[in-house]
Amino acid sequence: MTNNYNKIIPIIGAWPTVLLLGAIGLLLGVLLSFLRPLEYSSTVRILITQELGTVDAYTASLSVERIADDLTDIVYTTSFFDKVMVTDYDIDQSYFPNDETKRRNKWERVITTSVSRNSGLLTVKAYHTDVLQAENIALAVAHVLITEGWTYTSGSNITVQLVDESLNSNWPVRPNILVNAFSGLILGFLAGIGYVLIQIERLKRRHQLIHED
């Protein structure tokens, strides 16, 4: 009984250490979030439809999904980027580096796309430190997809239309401070628990050596 009691006491006494490391992890998670500029988002949704005559609904759905997937890849190309930049949406082109490789990498971070299966809905989300610029980029991407998207696909009789106007975030969404803070807290707790277990193991070995002597 005394043995078990002696094991429990160090664990209980170690909780302040665990909590301290958890708090440090939380703080680091928040601080690291501010190493990158805070970015707002703007989201638009586009519907892709295709007239295939007497083809069954399942085949038609697969065809539309394939076209939507193709367009999500096309959005990241230099050709598409250039077309977005010359639209009338007043995009600040100085936001993108002159170097081709850096510009591509920047564009891939600014834009994300996703396809809703079985619906033909393509979601475009743009990120920027200025929410109005994020909105302009999202709308410009949608404009190019609507007016010229068909030129990038092998499908025929395609209709691309905007079904959801731009929805802007009211506060920065990237980096996600709450997620980073929570991740830091969990990692801090794990580090604290690991540290405590190591210290307990050391005490146990020292105790055993003393009794052996």
Residue 200 has pLDDT above 70, yes or no: yes
pLDDT at residue 4 greater than cutoff 50: no
Q: Using one digit for the tens of pLDDT, what is the confidence trace for 30-73?
A: 777 667 788 999 999 999 887 766 666 656 677 778 888 888 88
Checking if the pLDDT of 160 tops 70, the result is yes
Please give the residue that has the higher pLDDT: either 143 or 5.
143
Q: 82 near 96, Cβ under 8 Å?
A: no
95-to-40, 171, 209 alpha-carbon distances in Å: 14, 20, 65
Q: Tell me the pLDDT band of 9, cut-offs 50, 70 and 90.
A: very low
Q: Would you say the pTM of this structure is higher than 0.85? A: no
Neighbouring C-alpha atoms within 13 Å toward the C-beta of 89:
20
The reported pLDDT for the residue numbered 12 is 54
- What number of other Cβ atoms are within 10 A of residue 92's Cβ? 12
Q: DSSP per residue over 163-201, as a string?
A: EEEEEE-SS--BS-HHHHHHHHHHHHHHHHHHHHHHHHH
